[in-house]
Amino acid sequence: MIDDIKKLSQKYQPECAQFLCDLIATPSMSSYEESVINLIRKKMEQFRYDEVTVDPMGNLLGRIGNGKTIIALDAHVDTVDVGNAGLWKTDPFKGVIKDGAIYGRGASDMKGAVASIVFAGRIVKELDLADDFTLYVVCSVQEEDCDGLCWQYIVKEDQLRPDCVVITEPTNLGIYRGHRGRMEMEVRTQGLSCHGSMPERGVNAIYKMAPIIADIEKLNERLASDPFLGKGTVTISVIWSTSPSLCAVADSATIHLDRRLTKGETMESAVREVQELPSVQRAEAEVVVLDYAVPSYKGLTYPTKKYYPTWLLDENHPAMQAGEETYRQLFNEAPRVSRWNFSTNGIATMGMHGIPSIGFGPANEIHAHSPEDQCSIDHLGKAMSFYAAFPKFFVKKN
């Protein structure tokens, strides 16, 4: 089986690379993924997947096999925007091949993985591997805007609950078993506006916020740490205020907090830490966990809290054992085991729903969201072979 998978992965690598270029040439920011979903759907149908469906949210699910054990390969199809186009050395929407890599928006995060899992499904189908498992190739939407929302919908509404999910975000071909969680909060102070020529007659909400900002910076220094996942963090990413005019005292001020949660930290504990800051209490400030309620490209709105739980799979779990054995059989060496610095759909698959999840993906996460966005062509073939081989090893370990 291994030799056959490796041969087909090498055979299809050039075609997979061209498909990645086509994906990059099809812009797909969050809530605008319809064109790229249609492109991928046609490819799945061309490869004769057993069933290809698009759910009401817009997620694309390609099924191969009808076995008892259900395994899902997940890759989100949406990307962040380009940012300052002047910083790019290549056209972000062309899929430029240079020095053995493909450059363009989403190459690393994560259209390289999309191409690889779709072609892995082709290999599974061609070699008739899915006799004792069901493989779902999932191309999900809105992840960049709201990690895991797609899998909240897939589990709760589509009623698909796999025995294992492979999150294919970039790992530089390492095997990852978790990452910190995150959440988004606002701290809000209220003031009283008055004419700017007589500030003593009002209450400036910005002044009330100033000591809170200093306390948030100090809070970051004493947050909990975990030997594997790393330290919890909090930072202020945005600050704004309101007033009747530029000649008036501010009547409100708001800061937006990006809070990263390490092992043992929860939404409740993170909120409480901010609420208990002396400056927050003196200012009688409001601490709010934000909501996400943005329509998908199909018009469906599926509201959720902007709380994305920490998750960590035990290093001896059968899914990890299967992943490591797959890697050794394919590449004749032990894999690098680590965790992501950023957040993925794993916050829903395992963090919310307890579905065993591992990570393995082409490309290096350091290129994600950058003007150097790229994926090695060699990684496409290796990732393709891993995704095609993993289900058999998971069935044996499970």
CA-to-CA dists, residue 10 to 13, 17, 96, 381, angstroms: 5, 11, 21, 6
Q: Which of 143, 144, 169, 265 is catalytic?
A: 143
Tell me if residue 352 falls in helix, strand or coil.
Answer: coil
**Rounded to 5 degrees, what angle do the CA atoms 147, 151, 155 make?**
155
Cα–Cα nearest to 233, from 207, 270, 203, 285: 270
Decide: 358 and 177 in contact? Cβ < 8 Å. Answer: yes
Structure tokens at 212: 């809170």
Cα–Cα nearest to 293, from 284, 285, 302: 302
Q: Indicate the angle between helix axes 2-24 and 377-397, nearest 10 degrees.
A: 130
Is 268 a residue of the active site?
no
CA-to-CA dists, residue 37 to 107, 127, 262, 317, 330, angstroms: 16, 25, 34, 33, 30
**Distance of alpha carbon 339 from alpha carbon 334, whole angstroms:** 16
Stretch (H or E) spanning 22: helix 2-24
Is 4 a residue of the active site?
no
Cα–Cα nearest to 262, from 341, 187, 319, 184: 341
- To the nearest 10°, report the CA torsion of 384, 171, 258, 227: 140
Q: Cis peptide before 384, with omega less than 30 degrees from 0? A: no
CB-based contacts of 261, cutoff 8 Å, min separation 6: 180, 181, 182, 183, 232, 270, 309, 310
Q: Which of 33, 74, 78, 365 is catalytic?
A: 78
**Distance of alpha carbon 2 from alpha carbon 392, whole angstroms:** 10
Residues with a catalytic annotation lie at 78, 143
